[in-house]
Amino acid sequence: RKEVEQDPGPFNVPEGATVAFNCTYSNSASQSFFWYRQDCRKEPKLLMSVYSSGNEDGRFTAQLNRASQYISLLIRDSKLSDSATYLCVVKAGNTGKLIFGQGTTLQVKP
Amino acid sequence: DGGITQSPKYLFRKEGQNVTLSCEQNLNHDAMYWYRQDPGQGLRLIYYSQIVNDFQKGDIAEGYSVSREKKESFPLTVTSAQKNPTAFYLCASSIDRRTGYTDEQFFGPGTRLTVL
């Protein structure tokens, strides 16, 4: 089993749609959680950290469920510019290293 | 402008040749990392360094070597022992996790290495 698993997609949605991505992790000792965004052939950039209480940044909402070991990202009112690959990232509890999921690809269509 | 630079952006090499990828940061970050990304896969950690003159192997260190002689620089050498070196190589840095305020890693623009 992979340490961090995501549905690779692609998710094809129309502009204005709401889309949700899930991610599961295997190490219950994991401490920190993130969503990174990666545009085609570019480097990943931090989108948002994921806190236990859940957090929101504009159209983006991230949630963490420690009991079930999954993280979610909700994007409301999708824009064409949201088209990218979204990487779920978990900080390993005992090493401090970041573990990256394979990414979920989102295509927002006009 | 503060940031991380990697050079070159594209690199072509013949099989059997060693090649060194450059990574420089002026963010005053203590920790630096090298990742490899293959199509449809997540990033995999090759090596990381938390302080100058110290580094540790990541998950796929075989066939690679690094040095950390300066805080700003963390070059990666892809040796001829690496069986499948063609990939997208990403360098990142972060504030030292032992004392820092964030786990965020900042990435350079990457180097696409193609071995012919």
The answer to whether A88 and A35 are in contact (CB under 8 A) is: yes
B63 vs B84: CA distance, rounded Å: 9
What pLDDT digit, counting tens, does each position of A65-91 carry? 999 999 999 999 999 999 999 999 998
State whether the Cα torsion B36-B5-A94-B57 is positive or negative.
positive
Per-residue pLDDT at A86: 97
Sheet with B4-7, side-by-side order of all strands: B4-7, B19-25, B76-78, B64-66
pLDDT (average), residues B14-24: 93
The answer on pLDDT for A96 being more than 80 is no
Instruction: For residue B104, give the nearest of A8, A46, A97 by CB distance.
Output: A46
Q: Closest residue of B to A8, CA-based?
A: B40
Give residue B2's pLDDT band: very low, low, confident or very high (50, 70, 90).
low
Distance from CA of A99 to the nearest CA of B (A): 8
| DSSP string covering chain B | ---EEEE-SEEEE-TT--EEEEEEE-S--SEEEEEEE-TTS-EEEEEEEEETTEEEE-TT-TTEEE--SBTTB--EEE-TT-S---EEEEEEEE--TTT-S----EE---EEEEE-
pLDDT (average), residues A9-30: 93
Q: Regarding predicted confidence, which is higher, A86 or A27? A: A86
The answer on pLDDT for A95 being more than 70 is no
When scoring A2, A30, A98 by the number of chain B Cβ atoms within 10 A, the one with the most, hence best to mutate, is A98
Per-residue pLDDT at A14: 97
Per-residue pLDDT at B104: 82
Q: Regarding predicted confidence, which is higher, B24 or B41? A: B24
Taking one residue from A and the other from B, the number of pairs with CB-CB distance under 8 angstroms is: 43
Give φ, ψ of B47 to 5 degrees.
-145, 155
Per-residue pLDDT at A1: 73
A21 vs B5: CA distance, rounded Å: 31
Asked if A45's CB is within 8 angstroms of B97's CB, the reply is no
What pLDDT digit, counting tens, does each position of B59-103 carry? 999 999 999 999 999 999 999 888 899 999 999 999 875 655 457
Give residue A20's pLDDT band: very low, low, confident or very high (50, 70, 90).
very high
Calculate ∠ Cα B80-B82-B84, nearest 5°.
115
Q: Regarding predicted confidence, which is higher, B76 or A29? A: B76
The answer on pLDDT for A94 being more than 60 is no
Q: Closest residue of B to A88, CA-based?
A: B42
Chain B residue numbers with beta carbons less than 8 Å from the beta carbon of A40 are none
What pLDDT digit, counting tens, does each position of B101-115 carry? 457 889 999 999 999
Give residue A92's pLDDT band: very low, low, confident or very high (50, 70, 90).
confident
Per-residue pLDDT at A24: 96
